[in-house]
Structure 1
Amino acid sequence: RNDQSVLSVQQQIIDTRKEAFEMTQRIALNSLKQEILRIENLIAADHRIVELRKKVAMTAAARLDQGIITSSEYLI
């Protein structure tokens, strides 16, 4: 009877530790998912910035070819 009580308490301790571990893992996973989403959003924003800069560079190159701006202005 006493052994069974000890085993029952030990099982409860194990169950509690397991639940705590699983909760910690879920929290860590959610945190990592949020970080991944944040980085993906930054990458998407960076891609948009690169595309806009390409357009600006192409426009400036066209203006340089047409003599609207100088080579010094083009480099700025």
Structure 2
Amino acid sequence: MHWYDPEAGKVEEVGTPSTDEEALGMLSGYPGSGRLVERYVVLREEGLGVKQALAFVVHRLRMFRPRHPNLGRTREPRRFS
């Protein structure tokens, strides 16, 4: 599966986790991972599969941590005097 590694900040190809322990291991280990783990647990309790819950959590992370932070921002006008 394609995996966005939040620690490295890049997408890589990894094996799909088959257990909650493997998925939680992928999510933990960097600042802010506690919220991701909590969200993953809630999604699993709601009935999502391991891969579905993991994909949803990481997709949400990427939405709030864009690769191009200045995209869509206008530049300050340059003043020539």
- TM-score normalised by L of structure 2: 0.32
Higher-RCO chain (CA-CA 8 Å, sequence separation at least 6): 2
Larger Rg over CA atoms: 1
Q: Which has the higher strand share?
A: 2
